């Protein structure tokens, strides 16, 4: 099976490539990645001779047409993925997440190739902390940020291409991922590497916002489950019942690294900050038989801390620029 993985040099895409090569000898992988600031080609170094890495843009219709024509399956991870960046400058989000997805859909349509679209739970907006409900496949779209609105738009393009052109496509909307090889701009790696670098972790607002954490390997196993057993045209929510508030995550990181649990700063809140995400993944579990393997967030977090401690060469070159960028917008408030 020939699989085209867009965004395969980023966090989730690279984990998908490494895990697929380790578990599926029948799969040949081509990665299409623009190698933006978010990519780290070092992640793929150990498999460089087993994949075809094409450096290019998903919005480049001619390039995408050629690569899609040679694939049996396309898994579309490539995106601008960070909410804070989308608030500073949304333009690349519109270009990559909407125009890039459009270019892929047109190529997939021309060549009748199986397509899986990677998306996020943020398309559903947010929930109150006290709300007893969780997101399901039936929840109405209500995105809050430039990032999540472009992801929502890309999902709607896929749905329209399925209905109008009979595209052989599926969509998955997953909750917050953690694990190795995640860029240090994101919450968990930022706080782990802050503590490792002797800097106090930074919590936005009151620190009570809730995210529904899932290990990246569980996400990627779910993606393969959907590719192999998902119903064409359908959407599946991916989540591992991992709701935790941000303050608890920071306190756990501090504790696991031997620091006082209160050695963090509150900083100015993210504009429009979604309060809570929560996924009900019953459909994926009951219809397709997927189950997460990482059931204990604390031990998954501990393994992730060990990975960052053991791999400073992977993250240190990016740390200073990320912190300089945050310093331009955030202010300590407590």
Residue 127 interacting with ligand DAU (CB under 6 A): no
Q: Which of residues 139-158 bind ligand NAD (CB under 6 A)?
A: 151
Residue 149 interacting with ligand DAU (CB under 6 A): no
CB-nearer residue toward ligand DAU: 27 or 87: 87
Q: Please, how many CA atoms are within 13 Å of residue 194, restricted to the half-sphere of its CB?
A: 23
Point out which span in 30-38, 244-252, 261-269, 285-293 binds ligand NAD (CB under 6 A): 30-38
Q: Hey, how many other C-beta atoms are within 10 angstroms of the C-beta on 42?
A: 15
Among 16, 93, 102, 187, binds ligand DAU (CB under 6 A): 187
Q: Is the dihedral of CA 249, 40, 171, 226 positive or negative?
A: negative
Phi and psi at residue 261, to the nearest 5°: -65, -15
Q: Which of residues 105-144 bind ligand NAD (CB under 6 A)?
A: 118, 120
Residue 280 interacting with ligand NAD (CB under 6 A): no
Residue 209 interacting with ligand DAU (CB under 6 A): yes
Residue 219 interacting with ligand DAU (CB under 6 A): no
Residue 215 interacting with ligand NAD (CB under 6 A): no
| Burial of 46: CB neighbours in 10 Å, binned 0-12, 13-18, 19+ | exposed
Outline where DSSP puts E strands in the chain.
2-6, 28-33, 51-55, 73-76, 114-120, 169-174, 177-178, 202-204, 210-212, 214-215, 235-238, 243-245, 265-267
Q: Please list the active-site residues.
A: 121-122, 147
CB-nearer residue toward ligand DAU: 70 or 333: 333
The residues, any chain, with a CB within 8 Å of residue 185's CB and separated by 6 or more, are 38, 82, 84, 85, 322, 325
The residues, any chain, with a CB within 8 Å of residue 296's CB and separated by 6 or more, are none
Binding residues (CB under 6 A) for ligand DAU: these are 81-83, 120-122, 175-176, 186-187, 190, 202-204, 209, 211, 246, 270, 277
Binding residues (CB under 6 A) for ligand NAD: these are 6-7, 9-13, 32-36, 38-39, 57-59, 77-81, 96, 100, 118, 120, 151, 174, 176-177, 183
């Amino acid at each position: 099976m020939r699989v085209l993985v867009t965004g395969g040099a980023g966090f989730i895409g690279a984990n998908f490539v490494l895990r697929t090569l380790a578990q599926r000898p029948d799969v040949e992988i081509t990665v299409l990645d623009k190698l933006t600031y978010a990519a780290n080609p070092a992640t793929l170094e150990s498999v460089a001779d087993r994949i075809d890495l094409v450096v290019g843009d998903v919005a480049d219709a001619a390039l995408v047409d050629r690569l899609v024509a040679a694939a049996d399956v396309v898994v579309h991870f490539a995106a601008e993925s960070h909410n804070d960046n989308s608030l500073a400058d949304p333009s690349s989000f519109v270009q990559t997440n909407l125009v890039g997805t459009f270019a892929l859909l047109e190529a997939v349509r021309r060549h009748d190739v199986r397509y899986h679209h990677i998306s996020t739970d943020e398309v559903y907006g947010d929930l109150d902390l006290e709300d007893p409900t969780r997101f399901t496949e039936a929840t109405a779209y209500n995105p809050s940020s430039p990032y999540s609105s472009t992801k929502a738009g890309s999902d709607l393009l896929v749905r329209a291409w399925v209905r109008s052109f009979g595209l052989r496509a599926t969509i998955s909307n997953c909750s917050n991922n953690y694990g190795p090889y995640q860029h240090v701009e994101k919450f968990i790696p930022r706080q782990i590497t802050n503590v490792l670098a002797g800097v106090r972790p930074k919590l936005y607002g009151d620190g009570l916002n809730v995210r529904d954490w899932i290990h990246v390997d569980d996400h990627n196993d779910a993606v393969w489950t959907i590719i192999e057993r998902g119903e064409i045209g359908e959407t599946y929510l991916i989540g591992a019942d991992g709701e935790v508030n941000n303050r608890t995550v920071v306190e756990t990181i501090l504790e696991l690294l031997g620091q006082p649990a209160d050695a963090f700063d509150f900083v100015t809140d993210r504009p429009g900050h979604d309060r809570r995400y929560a996924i009900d993944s019953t459909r994926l579990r009951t219809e397709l038989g997927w189950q997460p393997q990482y059931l204990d967030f604390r031990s998954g977090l501990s393994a992730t801390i060990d990975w960052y401690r053991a791999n400073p060469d992977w993250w240190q070159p990016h740390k200073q620029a990320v912190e300089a960028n945050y310093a331009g917008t955030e202010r300590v408030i407590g």
